[in-house]
Amino acid sequence: MNAASLFAAVPFGPEAGEFLGWILYDDGAELWQRMYDENGYNVKVIPCGLIAPETSGWFKNEINTVEDLQGLNMRFFGLGALAMEKLGVSTSLLGASDIFPALERGAIDATEFSMPLIDARLGFHKIAKYNYFPGWHQPSTLFELLVNGDVWEDLTDTAQNQIEVACLANITTNLAEGEALNYAAMVSNTEENGVIIKQWNPEMLGAFEGAWNEVVVELADGDPFFQEVWTDLQEYRAGYKIWSTNIYLPRE
């Protein structure tokens, strides 16, 4: 189910507010449920968690050009990994407990995992001193709660509503925590751990986005449902842009 990742984290995709708008008030939730239904999974899917944007990764060496990526071994997640592979990076999806040992013994040269607040607990800064931003591959990340379909139907309306409201509360808390506490982790990294915070230059961001655009075309080819979800999301984003470009103050 290639489309599954479009309900989790979309490279160069929507940030939290825009993403939730598509899921909760446009077609996102309906498409998400259809994906499971049409693939024979008897489950009820409920959006139930969200984290702030992630960092783009921790690197042992500074990365200034696309050529610097050639031959790197990197832990990477989801659709973004497919884009990185187009730029010459060999990717693998390691679990949280496996990443630090892999960095330490040189099995990987770099890693992405999560936002600074979470990454700090895993000690990447002890080995990889260059922390790159922005996290183009995961501008926001949604998590799901899956409930057996028969069990869900047996629940009372009140119980169903309680679960859905609890999930919405969890989303709100997750987002607020990330927005409030990540800066402190970044300050600690630079002042106490010797981390060098780097921003991708326009050339690098353009390369990442170009690779991602190639991935989208390939995934949509021969996968009508992926194409349907992707088209729906892009239509929503085009409409959302009318709102976002007019209502919000420009970022510096």
State the pLDDT confidence band at 101, using cuts at 50, 70 and 90: very high
Number of Cβ atoms within 10 Å of the Cβ of 62: 11
pLDDT, residue 252, reads 73
Residue 46: both structure tokens together: 């409920």
The pLDDT tens digits for 23-81 are: 999 999 999 999 999 999 999 999 999 998 999 999 999 999 999 999 999 999 999 99
Instruction: Give bridge partners of residue 197 from the DSSP assignment.
Output: 131
The pLDDT tens digits for 204-226 are: 999 999 999 999 999 999 899 99
Question: Which residue's structure tokens are 């260059």?
Answer: 130
pLDDT, residue 222, reads 87
pLDDT average, residue stretch 15-21:
97
pLDDT average, residue stretch 150-168:
98
State the pLDDT confidence band at 139, using cuts at 50, 70 and 90: very high
The amino acid at 240: Y
**Would you kindly state where each structural domain of the chain is located, as residue ranges?**
2-247
Long-range contacts: 101-108, Cβ < 8 Å, 24+?
Answer: 102/75, 103/58, 103/60, 103/127, 103/128, 107/73, 108/73, 108/74, 108/75
pLDDT, residue 120, reads 93
* Orientation angle between helical segments 28-38 and 16-25, nearest 10 degrees: 60
pLDDT, residue 2, reads 87
The pLDDT tens digits for 238-251 are: 999 999 999 999 88
Q: What is the mean pLDDT of the chain?
A: 96
Q: Does 1 score more than 90 pLDDT?
A: no
Residue 48: both structure tokens together: 């139930």
pLDDT average, residue stretch 142-153:
98
pLDDT average, residue stretch 94-99:
94
pLDDT, residue 159, reads 98
Fold annotation for 2-247? D-Maltodextrin-Binding Protein; domain 2 (3.40.190)
